């Protein structure tokens, strides 16, 4: 939701009328940026923080195809009929000129397939994970394999892509049945639909952080990294001046999703760097994160500072390295500031993010979600001592600086409306906050 809300805030600031349509837990954040809010229908309105509690079997599934199939059958596709129904009801009273969503918002390909372009809003999809569209130029998504050139490699890629389609054959059939229940047909491979069935696919990175492909759709473009949201109200902790005291600063985080078990990366990193001449900032994101780390250690090392949420726009300009499990947004933010990386992740899209870090020369890929202390220590020392990683991260930072994703999105939104005309009726949504434009 962070990329969507960041874009929504910019559009509100430009004077556009914006409705945020998502889970009810984000209502307060949507209203705070001056947008209106409409919750998903109750049967699709789940709290993503409680999925493993609501669906205990999910926690038993290993990362990879099994967990991904479960998520699609129960959430992305399982709730699609309700999501589409709610969106159509919203558009009936609020005939928007543009519907903008991230990759997981599967109502966009349904609208694209079910309605002629002149009879619907312009559809814009934000790419907030690495490109997973199949291509003969790249290995199958999920394997975390860096591509190589040549016909032999392309033949291997085609074989891998076919194998992946077979692995997800049952999910393909589930998706086809779901789409057919909505009156449309899945055109080809299910996972390619969000890329091919939208008017504009905007990848939130720069070309140098994505594998080159010769067969991308024409409507797919790179628009650069969203700048980190400003957090002017953050109260700096007492140790903040130490960030500028001269020691290399190493930040470690497991992001906002895969942080249930800090023993995967945060705690091992704290242990691995305990006797190095560096300042370690453990940004656990969780409110109880610092206490969890303290309980796991006999003693917190002298060079470690524990924190819950720390805004990256304030912290990363001081960092010399970021140790992360490979969340796409966090990695993009590190590159925005030219910070080299050590990446260790195995769930969701993280192996693919780590592979792109390796391929771009901006950091070290540990190829595991639970690295040992020896591996972590060596990787951090490598990134700090070898100037090529900082140099490559700096090159990407300069490239990121040449893009303006807000302007790219505004250009689409400001284009002449396809369906001009006044609103046909009142929209019953949460009221806009006082003083909002």
Domains of the chain, first to last = 2-224+403-413 (3.40.50.2000), 240-400 (3.40.50.2000)
Which are the contacts of 17, defined by CB distance < 8 A and separation ≥ 6? 36
pLDDT at 426 exceeding the cut of 70 = no
Give residue 433's pLDDT: 37
Burial of 317 (0-12, 13-18, 19+ CB in 10 A): middle
Q: What is the pTM of this model?
A: 0.90
Strands 36-39 and 122-127: unpaired
Give residue 154's pLDDT: 95
- Calpha distance 139→135 (Å, rounded): 8
Confidence band of 134 (pLDDT split at 50, 70, 90): very high
Percent of the chain at pLDDT > 90 equals 76
pLDDT in tens, 56-92: 998 898 878 888 899 999 989 999 999 999 999 999 9
Strands 321-324 and 304-307: unpaired
pLDDT in tens, 160-187: 999 999 999 999 999 999 999 999 999 8
Structure tokens at 308: 């819950």
93-107, 211-225, 230-244: range with lowest mean pLDDT: 230-244
Confidence band of 257 (pLDDT split at 50, 70, 90): low
pLDDT in tens, 268-317: 999 999 999 999 999 988 888 888 889 988 899 999 999 988 999 999 99
- Calpha distance 85→204 (Å, rounded): 28
Give residue 25's pLDDT: 94
Taking residues 196-203, what's their average pLDDT? 97
Nearest CA to 1 among 222, 32, 15?
32
User: Element (H or E) spanning 416, and its range?
Assistant: none
Confidence band of 258 (pLDDT split at 50, 70, 90): low
pLDDT at 399 exceeding the cut of 50 = yes
Q: How many CA atoms within 13 Å lie on the side-chain side of 41? A: 14
Give residue 346's pLDDT: 77
Confidence band of 435 (pLDDT split at 50, 70, 90): very low
Give residue 142's pLDDT: 84
Confidence band of 51 (pLDDT split at 50, 70, 90): confident
pLDDT in tens, 30-50: 999 999 999 999 999 988 888
Percent of the chain at pLDDT > 70 equals 94
Question: Is the CB of residue 411 less than 8 Å from the CB of residue 124?
Answer: no
Give residue 430's pLDDT: 44
């Amino acid at each position: 939701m962070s990329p969507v809300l960041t874009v929504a805030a910019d559009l509100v600031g430009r004077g556009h009328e914006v409705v945020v349509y998502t889970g009810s837990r984000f209502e307060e954040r949507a209203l705070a940026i001056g947008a209106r809010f409409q919750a998903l229908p109750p049967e699709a309105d789940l709290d993503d923080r409680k999925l493993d509690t609501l669906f205990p079997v999910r926690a038993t599934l290993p990362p990879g195809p099994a967990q991904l199939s479960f998520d699609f059958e129960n959430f992305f596709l399982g709730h699609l009929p309700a999501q589409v129904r709610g969106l159509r009801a919203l558009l009936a009273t609020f005939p928007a000129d543009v519907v903008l969503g991230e990759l997981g918002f599967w109502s966009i390909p349904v609208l694209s397939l079910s309605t002629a372009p002149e009879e619907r809003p312009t559809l814009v999809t934000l790419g907030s994970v690495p490109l997973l569209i199949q291509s003969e130029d790249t290995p199958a998504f999920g394997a975390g394999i860096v591509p190589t050139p040549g016909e032999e490699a392309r033949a291997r890629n085609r074989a891998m892509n076919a194998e992946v389609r077979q692995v997800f054959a049952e999910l393909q059939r589930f998706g086809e049945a779901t789409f057919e229940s909505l009156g449309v047909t899945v055109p080809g491979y299910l996972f390619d639909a969000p890329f091919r069935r939208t008017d504009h696919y905007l990848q939130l990175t720069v070309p140098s952080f994505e594998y080159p492909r010769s067969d991308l759709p024409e409507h797919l473009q790179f628009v650069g990294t969203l700048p980190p949201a400003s957090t002017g109200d953050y109260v700096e902790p007492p140790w903040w001046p130490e960030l500028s005291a001269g020691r290399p600063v190493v930040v470690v985080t497991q992001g906002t999703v895969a942080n249930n078990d800090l023993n995967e990366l945060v705690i091992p990193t704290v242990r691995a760097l305990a006797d190095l001449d560096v300042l370690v900032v453990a940004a656990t994101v969780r409110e109880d994160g610092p206490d969890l780390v303290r309980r796991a250690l006999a003693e917190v090392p002298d060079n470690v500072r524990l924190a819950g949420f720390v805004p990256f726009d304030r912290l990363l300009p001081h960092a010399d390295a970021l140790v992360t499990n490979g969340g796409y947004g966090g990695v993009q933010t590190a590159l925005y500031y030219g910070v080299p990386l050590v990446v260790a992740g195995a769930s969701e899209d993280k192996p693919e993010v780590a592979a792109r870090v390796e391929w771009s020369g901006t950091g070290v890929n540990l190829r595991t979600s639970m690295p040992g202390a020896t591996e972590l220590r060596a990787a951090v020392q490598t990134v700090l001592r070898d100037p090529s990683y900082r140099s490559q991260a700096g090159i990407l930072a300069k490239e990121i600086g040449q893009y303006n994703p807000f302007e790219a999105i505004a250009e689409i939104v400001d284009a002449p409306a396809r369906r001009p005309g006044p609103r046909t009726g009142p929209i019953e949504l949460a009221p806009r906050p006082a003083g909002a434009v």
